Structure 1
Amino acid sequence: MTHTPPDADQVYSIGELADITGLSVHTLRWYESRGLFPRDVPRTSGGRRAYGPETVGWLTLIARLRESGMPVAEMAKYSALVRAGEGNEPERIALMEAHAAALDEQIQALMASRAVIGGKIDAYRTALIARGALALEPS
């Protein structure tokens, strides 16, 4: 996702927002249809979407949540909490803490997998060195 700093007074069309964020127009519409925006997207008098500069930052967050494996239903729940305004911060914290814990578990699992793979690489190198098929490389 590219991130061009938004102009505080700028209003973006969906195409412009797609260019700024690197997301497709289709993805932006899909996000909107799934309730992933923190407020209703305003429209111009001609019915076209008119996104404000805060949307760029919001989409950066949503993209990170999606990349990190947060289910769309959880992202929609978070968006609904933001839309509801102040007073539900404990629920927001709980949602983010649960996702952070899930990420910590994934990171630990990946580190364990990486250690096993590293062990295999070392074993193959050791076998090749023992057969004289691989020269020792200076560190």
Structure 2
Amino acid sequence: MTESYPIQEAARLSGVTVHTLRYYERVGLLAPVGRSGSGYRLYTGGDLGRVRFLTMLRRTGMPIAQMLAFSELERQGQASFGARYALLERHRAELMARMAELQRHLSYLDEKVRYYWDLEQRQREAGDNRASA
């Protein structure tokens, strides 16, 4: 028998909120999850893996609309492997471009930090020289 988790435990294990789990299911990012005899949601390890993948896509900046498009492609089965590859490859390229831009910003910021550190050091040295004169 496959282990299953109630929604609170699934949220804790996957690192998202209960609201996010319900939202992902409601909009179709997650297939409807199993239910207990009393109607409570029960998530499998596969469901949690799916949530982790969706969380990663979201944290890398993929819009929900693209995530939904990917989910729709998945429902089409093997015939959509190429389209899924293309969607993820486009997102990867966008992510790489953003990372390169952030790296440029970080380099510029590093220059400014060094500049002000040097100014601070010179100011301290000038103050020390005045105090000892």
State the TM-score, normalized to the length of structure 2.
0.84
Q: Which of 84, 88, 93 is the equivalent residue of 2:85?
A: 93
Report whether the alignment pairs 1:71 with 2:77. Answer: no
* Paired residues, number: 127
Alignment partner, residue 50 of structure 1: 42
Runs of 4+ more than 6 Å apart = none
Alignment partner, residue 28 of structure 1: 21
- Paired residues of 1:81 and 1:88 also in contact (CA < 8 A): yes
Higher Rg = 2
Matched residue type, 2:45: P
- Paired residues of 1:125 and 1:134 also in contact (CA < 8 A): no
Shift of 1:80: 1.5
Q: Could you list the per-position Cα deviations for residues 79-126 of structure 1 after superposition, in whole angstroms to 9, with x for gaps in the alignment?
A: 121122211000100110111011011101100100110111111122
More helix by share: 2
Alignment partner, residue 131 of structure 2: none
Matched residue type, 2:9: E
- Paired residues of 1:11 and 1:51 also in contact (CA < 8 A): yes
Q: Give the 3 Å change call, closer, same or farther, for CA 116–133 of structure 1 in structure 2.
A: farther
Query: CA RMSD for the aligned pairs?
Result: 2.1
What is the DSSP-based 3-state SS (H/G/I as helix, E as strand, rest coil) of the residue aligned with 1:9?
Answer: coil
Shift of 1:13: 2.0
Q: Give the 3 Å change call, closer, same or farther, for CA 134–90 of structure 1 in structure 2.
A: farther
Shift of 1:129: 2.9
Q: Give the 3 Å change call, closer, same or farther, for CA 110–134 of structure 1 in structure 2.
A: farther
Which runs of 5 or more structure 2 residues have no equivalent in the other structure?
129-133
Q: Which of 108, 121, 138 is the equivalent residue of 2:113?
A: 121
Q: Give the 3 Å change call, closer, same or farther, for CA 128–34 of structure 1 in structure 2.
A: same
State the TM-score, normalized to the length of structure 1.
0.81
- Paired residues of 1:78 and 1:92 also in contact (CA < 8 A): yes
Distance 2:126 2:110 in 1: 20
